[in-house]
Amino acid sequence: MTIVASWIASPILSGIISTATFFFILKCVVQTDEPAWNGLLFLPLFYFLTLFTNIFPVLLTGSSIIRFRQFPVWLAFIAAVCLAIGGALFVWFFFVPRLKFAIQNKVITGRENRRRPNNPVQNTAADLTTSTSDINATTSPGGSSTDDEPEVNELFSPLQVLTAIFGAFAHGGNDASNAISPLVTLWVIYRTGSVNERLQSPLFLFVFGGVGICVGFWVYGQKVITTVGEKLTKITASNGFSIEFGATATILMASKIGLPISTTHCKVGSIVCVGYLSNGFGAVNWALLKEISIGWIVTVLITALLSAAIMTVLKVVLI
C-alpha cells in the first residue's frame, strides 16, 4: 500500500513544490516592472537552490557501486551548502555580467530598429525593447497571461537545461532502478541458488539498465515529449524550470527513502499545477490529463495480468 500511495502522493508533492517555486518567480521576476533585471538579481539564488537540492541527497546517500562513501548528515549538509554557494558565486561574477551585457545589447538593438520605418517586423520587436523600462512582464500582476519576455527566457533557459540534466540523473536513480530490480533478483538467485541471499548488485546490470533507458528514449521518447511537454499546457523557460525543479526534488527524496515512484507522474503533476497557476483553468488540457490518468491505471492492470499469465504458463511447463 505504501508504494501505491506514493504513486498518488508524488505528483501532488511535485506539483506543490513546482507551484511554490513558480509563484515566487511570478511575484519576484515575471510580473514585476523590470523582470529582466530582477531575474538577474535572483538568478544566483535559483542556481543555489538547484545545486543544493541535487548535491545534498547524493552526498547523504553515497554509492557502494562506485565506492563513494555516505556522508554524515551534518557533513553532507555543510558540503552541499558550500558547493551550492560556490556555484551561485560563479553565476553572480561570471554568468550574470554576460547576460546583463547581452540584454543591454538587445535594448540598444531594439532602439535602433525602432528608428527604421521600413521594416514592420523589426518595428514590432523594437516596441517591446525600446528601453530598460520597457522590459516588462507580459501582463500586470493581475493579468491572466504569464508569457515570458525574451530576456526572461534567456535568463531561465540555461537554468532549465541544468534542472533537466539533474532530472535525468534523478530518473536514472529511480526509474532505471525500478526497471532492473527484477533482473538483479534473478541474477542473485542464479548466483546463489537462494531467494534469501543478499549480494551487491553488479555494475554491468546498472549499465545495461542505463543503455536500455537511453535506447528507449531515442526510439520512443519524442512521442512522450510532445504529449507531456507541449499538449498539456504551455511551457516557458521560467515555469519549465519550476516544473523540472519540483519533479527532480520529489524524485530524489523518494529515491533516498527507497520508494519506486514514476518520473512521469511527478512531471505531469508539476505541469498541471504550474499551468493552472500560469493562465488559469483553461490553460490545462484536462481531457488529455484524464487520458493519461486512465493510462496509468490501465497499464498497471495489464502488466499485472500479463505477468500472472506468463507465470502460470511457466509453472505448468517447468514445474
Rounded Cα distance, 289 and 160, in Å: 23
Q: Does residue 319 share a domain with residue 241?
A: no
Which stretch, 17-21, 56-60, 248-252, has highest mean pLDDT? 17-21
Shortest CA distance to 50 belongs to which of 13, 94, 11, 18? 18
Q: Does residue 310 share a domain with residue 244?
A: no
Could you tell me which residue, 112 or 304, shows the higher pLDDT? Answer: 304
Rounded Cα distance, 209 and 181, in Å: 10
pLDDT for the residue numbered 128 = 38
Which stretch, 42-51, 129-138, 158-167, 245-254, has highest mean pLDDT? 42-51
CB atoms within 10 A of CB 315: 9
Amino acid at 111: R
Which stretch, 61-75, 180-194, 224-238, has highest mean pLDDT? 224-238
Residue keyed to cell 537540492: 53
Say whether pLDDT at 119 is over 60: no
Give the mean pLDDT of the chain: 81
Q: Does residue 80 share a domain with residue 17?
A: yes
The pLDDT tens digits for 154-163 are: 889 899 899 9
Say whether pLDDT at 294 is over 90: yes
CA atoms within 13 A on the CB side of 268: 25
The pLDDT tens digits for 25-83 are: 999 999 888 888 899 999 999 999 999 999 998 888 766 665 666 778 888 899 999 99
Q: Does residue 269 share a domain with residue 317?
A: no
Domain assignment present for residue 99? The answer is yes
Say whether pLDDT at 115 is over 60: no
Domain assignment present for residue 202? The answer is no
Domain assignment present for residue 131? The answer is yes
pLDDT for the residue numbered 67 = 61
pLDDT for the residue numbered 43 = 94
Amino acid at 258: G
* Mean pLDDT of the 110-126 span: 50
Rounded Cα distance, 229 and 249, in Å: 19
* Mean pLDDT of the 260-283 span: 89
Domain assignment present for residue 223? The answer is no
Rounded Cα distance, 111 and 131, in Å: 7
Element (H, E) at 137: none
| Cell matching residue 135 | 522590459
* Mean pLDDT of the 252-260 span: 80
CA geometry: angle at 280 spanning 233 and 134, to 5°? 85
CB 57 within 8 A of CB 83: no
122: containing domain: 2-172+236-284
Domain assignment present for residue 102? The answer is yes
Task: Tell me the pLDDT band of 141, cut-offs 50, 70 and 90.
Answer: very low
Shortest CA distance to 14 belongs to which of 299, 236, 253? 253
Domain assignment present for residue 178? The answer is no
pLDDT for the residue numbered 118 = 53
pLDDT for the residue numbered 298 = 93
| Entry pTM | 0.79
pLDDT for the residue numbered 133 = 40
Rounded Cα distance, 129 and 151, in Å: 9
Amino acid at 53: T
Q: Does residue 251 share a domain with residue 104?
A: yes
| Cell matching residue 46 | 535559483
Alpha helices in the chain (DSSP H): 2-25, 35-61, 73-90, 96-114, 120-128, 150-192, 203-226, 237-257, 263-279, 286-318
Which percentage of the chain shows pLDDT scores above 90? 33
Q: How many domains does the chain have?
A: 2
Residue keyed to cell 541535487: 54
Domain assignment present for residue 229? The answer is no
Could you tell me which residue, 193 or 189, shows the higher pLDDT? Answer: 189
Which percentage of the chain shows pLDDT scores above 70? 82
